[in-house]
Amino acid sequence: MKNNPPVWAAFDFDGTLTQRDSLLPFLRQVLGTARLATTLAMQAPWLVAYMAGLLANDRAKARLLRHTLGGMHRSVLQEHGRSYATNTLPQLLRPAMMQRLRQHQALGHTCVLVTASLTLYTQNWGLAAGLTQVIGSELAYDENGLATGALQGKNCFGAEKAVRLRALLPGNAKLYAYGDSRGDLEMLAMADKAWTINKENDYGRKLPELE
């Protein structure tokens, strides 16, 4: 008898499993509201350029991380990541999409998180949520354990999501994929069944039943 192929489900994080961006609330926890506001105000010109589509996502993220987390010690940031994953991220989740994740898990599917968000906090959250693996953006540190503000490797966005997921995916696997933005298009395109999570489908409430 022919074996059934393994089934995988790949989920984006921000805007798919969560109701909003997760990075700014994390930076607010680390820096405090006043310091973060001051930092963002000082960086307003390039932030406007990014929002206008004049600055690439990876360059914008590198600048933001350099001006916010650069120079902080790994142990301090890791503690913030654990606290944020436990105390704040649960408040940002979309119940309907978390239910979808639970459905895949109940069926024995291999569920992975594929996100441009920092593994500094998504790793803690994802493993606690029962995801098999978390694929995300890694913060880089120098020889003294201080954050450089750069990423170790590429920003896990757009084509990079598909590259990293394909490196793990068994060749005969059936893939479900969920995303919400242009940063997920390549991952969605490689899936057997893919859904863009948006207001039109009420963030997962009207998705078809899993087979």
Mind listing the pLDDT tens digit for each residue in 122-151?
999 999 999 999 999 999 999 999 999 899
Domain ranges of the chain: 7-204
Contacts of 51 (CB under 8 A, 6+ apart): none
Bigger pLDDT: 161 or 1? 161
The average pLDDT across 9-24 equals 94
Three-class DSSP category at 136 = strand
* Range from 15-19, 111-115, 180-184 that averages highest in pLDDT: 111-115
pLDDT at 36: 83
Closest CA to 191 of 3, 11, 4: 11
Burial per residue of 12-49, b for 16 or more beta-carbon CB atoms within 10 angstroms, e otherwise: bbbbbbbeeebbebbbbbbbeeeebeeebeebeeebee
pLDDT at 203 over 50: yes
Burial of 144 (0-12, 13-18, 19+ CB in 10 A): exposed
pLDDT at 20 over 50: yes
pLDDT at 205 over 60: no
pLDDT at 57: 64
The average pLDDT across 198-203 equals 58
pLDDT at 145: 97
Q: Mean pLDDT for the chain?
A: 88
pLDDT at 37: 84
Query: Which of 21-35, 51-65, 108-122 comes out lowest in average pLDDT?
Result: 51-65
Task: Give the 3-state secondary structure of 81-130.
Answer: HHHHHHHCHHHHECHHHHHHHHHHHHCCCEEEEEEEEEHHHHHHHHHHCC
Band the pLDDT of 105: cuts 50, 70, 90: very high
Band the pLDDT of 116: cuts 50, 70, 90: very high
The average pLDDT across 182-201 equals 88
Band the pLDDT of 50: cuts 50, 70, 90: very low
May I ask the CATH architecture of the domain 7-204?
3-Layer(aba) Sandwich (3.40)
Q: Which residues pair with 18 in a beta bridge?
A: 93
